[in-house]
Amino acid sequence: AQKITQTQPGMFVQEKEAVTLDCTYDTSDQSYGLFWYKQPSSGEMIFLIYQGSYDEQNATEGRYSLNFQKARKSANLVISASQLGDSAMYFCAMREEETSGSRLTFGEGTQLTVNP
């Protein structure tokens, strides 16, 4: 069964607008962590933001915020004030058991294109 689902293969946004990239997950664990990574065309995986399952508040890092809805099992990434450099592939990932040593399971990714 798919543990991480990203239903948007591609998204387009105008520069300076906000965009939401969807991610839903499936786990029976009470304790888990959710991650978002950016992969530009150069190929590296850049850590963006992390949300722990017990965190009460949504995580924010600069222009990135994670809209965590635990009951819906969703962890959408919101990018505010999009920039041309935000054009990249974005991956949602989950670590079950919110301890440091567990593997990450990735979604299929969403290709974001920011238009000028």
Partner 1 sequence: EPEVTQTPSHQVTQMGQEVILRCVPISNHLYFYWYRQILGQKVEFLVSFYNNEISEKSEIFDDQFSVERPDGSNFTLKIRSTKLEDSAMYFCASNSAEQYFGPGTRLTVT
Least Cα distance to 116 among 14, 20, 10, 11 occurs for 14
Between the alpha carbon of residue 16 and those of residues 11, 38, 95, the distances in Å are 15, 18, 32
- Considering only residues 66, 93, 94, 114, which one is a binding residue for partner 1 as defined by CB under 8 A? 93
> With binding defined as CB under 8 A, does residue 108 bind partner 1?
yes
The values of phi and psi at residue 10, to 5°, are -145, 145
In angstroms, give the least distance from the CB of 116 to partner 1.
26
Instruction: Indicate the residue among 37 and 82 with the shorter CB distance to partner 1.
Output: 37
> With binding defined as CB under 8 A, does residue 71 bind partner 1?
no
Least Cα distance to 78 among 100, 51, 103 occurs for 51
- Considering only residues 32, 87, 95, 112, which one is a binding residue for partner 1 as defined by CB under 8 A? 95
Return the SS3 of 35: strand
User: Candidates 16-24, 46-54, 64-72, 78-86 — which segment interacts with partner 1 by CB under 8 A?
Assistant: 46-54
Which residues are at the interface with partner 1 (CB under 8 A)?
Answer: 35, 37, 43-47, 50, 91, 93, 95, 100-109
